[in-house]
Amino acid sequence: MDEVAPGTVLRPDVAIVGAGPAGITLALALDRLGVSTLLIEGGGRTASIASQARYQGEADTEQGLEYPNLDIPRLRFLGGASNHWAGWCRRLEHNVFQPRPWMGDIEWPFGWDEIGQYYRRAHEICELGRYEYDPAVISDDLALDAWPLRSTHDDFEPIVWRFSPPTRFATRYGPDLETSDVDVALNANLVSIETSGRMVNRLVLVAENDRGERYVEADRTVLACGGLETVRVLLHLAEGGGLDLDQSGWLGRGFMEHPHVDIGTLVLAGSAAPAESTFLRPFLERVADVDGTMVMGGFAPNPEACAEHGLPNMSITLEQRDNTRLAGLGNGEGVRQLIELVGAGSTANVLSLYLRAEQRPVQSSRIELVGQRDDLGLRRIRLDWRVDDRDLANYVTALELLARTLTGSGIGAVHSFGIESRLQHVGGGSHHLGGARMHESPDGGVVDPSGRVHATDNLYVCSSAAFPVSGFSNPTLTIVALALRMAASLGAAG
């Protein structure tokens, strides 16, 4: 942006704020459709201390919940959080697109097939190899043991994660941006949005070096700057008073994470070490699929079990249990029994059960502006992450169902740590979901099913902030699919 003279007005068809996986995917897809596009990134090509400091904010959680400072999981330079992404990928579960009374009947406002048609291309963009998530197919192709759980209590089913290399979007798709007609503005800081009526008229950008203002007058503007920052921009816009962005009462509210917690221990039957089992190996470590893509297995309650027991979606993976970690898990009776059972000897047949889960969206879990400002004069945010007590109880119920399945199959015994009574050791996955939820009606959400902000005619959100519910699957693959879906919509409309 420094090479553009102060006072310059840029007039693309579409302006995209944020150059992470969503923004880069959307920009390149629009370019292929012949849409004039400006991609705006607040940072540069590499990280800088000054730019990263603008992501600082308060993280205030309920007692026992663990959350990092807000500038740690987010990266403010070209490629965004993909620059430290771990690469876990799965498609969203089908039932999050259907009514679930036990979850408050909150669902995505379109069917799974609507986004499913974009998953295959998103899969390619994230470099995930063959489009295969069926554990039975992968097991057969790799000559692994068949899924052994055949008891009368099969509430759980096997699932598969696929792992991106991981794709660093700036590195992988930077050359495509350079050869495209997309204009990329780096070190271009959005400081305000000017509106009249229902229209966004102008974006005001400040360059990093001279701090002079440049302007963007686009037909349509897309906020693709991550879950927290997208909400921050909308909160600033709402504060200006020109638009009623919060008719639903959900702007900044309904923030969700994927709660992560070491929830229990599996003590295998017999003395065989897990490494000796061809069944357990793909559940304990990543293995190469036939195309070389790394995959790993896990357990998840099936949709019927979720409906019967009123459970959110969740997954449980296996990890080798380090005996020294037991001391930090509290002093409950279950832990004492486990330590006595395992003893001070080898833990080769002792596995950790690690939960990654969906949570119910609640209004008390929120993102809000605070009085402190960054060096550009913009108010910082405070994150108050809340988890419904019902979710914690549900997680333990699910562990009990898994224990019944594992015991009935003769695999081993499960010990629980009883987190339903407290939030001890529950953390997040740095997945910033919700805060600008998608809904058919402005009375129910902030953006409509196309991603357009209800209160406007030309402002859109392409971000995990729009997720009305999250499922348990990591969000990046879905975010890329949503960007492709939005490109198709904007391209057709333009």
Return phi, psi of residue 357, to 5°: -135, 165
> What Rg value do the Cα atoms of the chain yield, rounded?
23
* Length of the chain counted residue by residue: 494
Least confident of 139-153, 321-335, 365-379, 437-451: 321-335
DSSP state of 460: E
Q: How many CB atoms lie within 10 A of CB 413?
A: 14
Q: How many CB atoms lie within 10 A of CB 56?
A: 15
| Dihedral sign computed on CA atoms, order 317, 322, 326, 327 | negative
Q: Taking Cα atoms as reference points, which of 10, 183, 37, 173 lies closest to residue 490?
A: 37
Architecture category of domain 1-103+169-256+433-494 in CATH:
3-Layer(bba) Sandwich (3.50)
Dihedral, 61, 436, 223, 245 alpha carbons, nearest 10: -120
- Considering the chain, what percentage of its residues have pLDDT values greater than 90? 69
Distance CA 13, CA 18 (A): 16
Residue 60 CA to chain centroid, in angstroms? 20
Tell me the angle at which helices 169-179 and 21-32 cross, rounded to the nearest 10 degrees.
30
Distances (CA, A) of 35 to 4, 8, 183, 394, 419: 21, 21, 11, 47, 51
pLDDT of residue 154: 78
What is the arithmetic mean of pLDDT over 267-294? Answer: 77
Q: Taking Cα atoms as reference points, which of 270, 35, 356, 296 lies closest to residue 158?
A: 296
Q: Taking Cα atoms as reference points, which of 319, 209, 308 lies closest to residue 261?
A: 319
Residue 201 predicted with pLDDT over 70: yes
Class of residue 360 by CB neighbours under 10 A (exposed 0-12, middle 13-18, buried 19+): buried
For tokens 């997680």, what's the residue? 395
pLDDT tens digits for range 484-494: 999 999 988 76
pLDDT of residue 368: 97
pLDDT of residue 281: 78
Residue 214 predicted with pLDDT over 90: yes
pLDDT tens digits for range 451-465: 999 999 999 999 999
Tell me the HSE value of 205 on the side-chain side, using a 13 A CA sphere: 32
What is the arithmetic mean of pLDDT over 204-225? Answer: 94
Q: What is the mean pLDDT of the chain?
A: 89
pLDDT tens digits for range 77-90: 999 999 999 999 99
Task: Place 358 in a pLDDT band, splitting at 50, 70 and 90.
Answer: very high
Residue 435 predicted with pLDDT over 70: yes
What is the arithmetic mean of pLDDT over 44-58? Answer: 95
